[in-house]
Structure 1
Amino acid sequence: MSNHSFVIDAQQGRDASVGDILELDGSEAHHAVAVKRVSAGEHLDLLDGKGLRLTVEVIGTAKDLLSVKVLRRAEEAVSDHPVTLVQALSKGDRDLQAVESGVELGVLSVRPWQADRSIVRWNAAKVDKAMAKWRAQVRSAQKQSRRAYEPEVLDPLGSKELAKAIAADTANGALVLVLHEQAAESVARRVQSWLADARTGQEIIMIVGPEGGISETELQSFVDAGAQPALLGQHVLRASTAGPAALVLIRHLIGEI
């Protein structure tokens, strides 16, 4: 069984060497001691969210305080082709379900999208609270999957702003896929064709629409900006399922799983 994972301050992790004794406090220490009930002698993984993994041994616990000894440190490489999930806001927390699964499956960043047909609407008063909820979901999924990288939650965009972002991304060599049930080409063919000329570091961006689908106006504006419609099988998937399903296929094609 893999070690329980907890997130630490990036600076604390960067300064740590094998053999060092670290003391952790705050919410993560409380979760380890009071919820997970870790005890002396157990091995844990401490993650800084930026690729660092410290394997440590617990040497002491107290209320909201965890003392550990560093056994190993490892720097995990970022993907040659990082994947971003642009997820339309959806009812019933299906957008958050997609984010959770996407993080567990290896996406490196997520972006909320206020689509024309999104039933859920984020007005100015809701944005901060909603973004905090997305970040909490990302952090939880990161720890659940024992990932050394914590995906970034990018600023939410409306459709017009997203089209501008697509134009900038494709100009830098990114592959932007709009998952759409009427696309002529499959996700696999789009990715394979792009990989033939892609350079290390160029990213793949997946755009997933809301329950009501992507409007024709949105689709055309995204295509005009450089995005490519892509078909993910013969069935129409839920907003919570499409992105994670495409992500598994993409990571397989780029040789990561």
Structure 2
Amino acid sequence: MPSALRPRLHIHTSIPTPSSPPIPIPTHLRPLHSNTTLISPQLWTTLHPSTLSIYTHLLPALLLLTLTISISIPTTPYNLPSLPIPARTILLFNLLAATTTLLLSTTYHLHQHTPPPTAEKFLRYDYSGIIFLLVANYTTGLYFGFYTQWELTWRYALLILILTLFPLTTHLVPKSQSQSQCSHHATTLRITSLVLPALTALIPILHAYRLYGKTYLWDVGVGWYLLEGVMFLLGMGVYLLILGLGHGDEDS
């Protein structure tokens, strides 16, 4: 076997030192600069670790924004003229919440590989969008699900607002040193704080099923609502596998 291919141990002289020249990183693997914005040429002309995440959030946001504008303009065929103004307003609110959430996620992925203080700040923005969308979806579902039962609507709305305090505390309050040292437990708590309010949506759904039956629920779009809930839980599962277990390995 040629000596160049023969396995050998590295000695101390072959290990890089602080004075060694930096190892070159291919362009498509270089992280974005901390001052990167949506109009930065580097974002659109190069591949980088966040390219896929940016586009999978930005493109749906643009599509939702286009749909929102189309519904808002009376002359478009998507204006839904048969829908009452309050119902159209609630629908637009839901679409704007989804658009805002996707744009906030886009800005986070723009800064995901920047210095930790910057990345952490935009991560909290991302969490804010997720919590905002959670409340918006809950409110929209209550409006259309209990269209003639305003007392029930307000009761469940109060419930979700109270439960929202849980993720607001776990996601938006900056992490302390003690939380950083127990990152696995902190991650589990943060995931639970998002999943719990989402699962409580089953309570008004079951209540409406008891009052109106399956056909009514299907007509008002509960099927799509449940599908969105499944996707939300799937996303939380991926978050747990990638971040939660990874942090747990680091702590062990």
- TM-score by length of structure 2 reads 0.22
Higher helix share: 2
Of structures 1 and 2, the larger Rg is shown by: 2
Larger RCO (CA under 8 A, 6+ residues apart) = 1
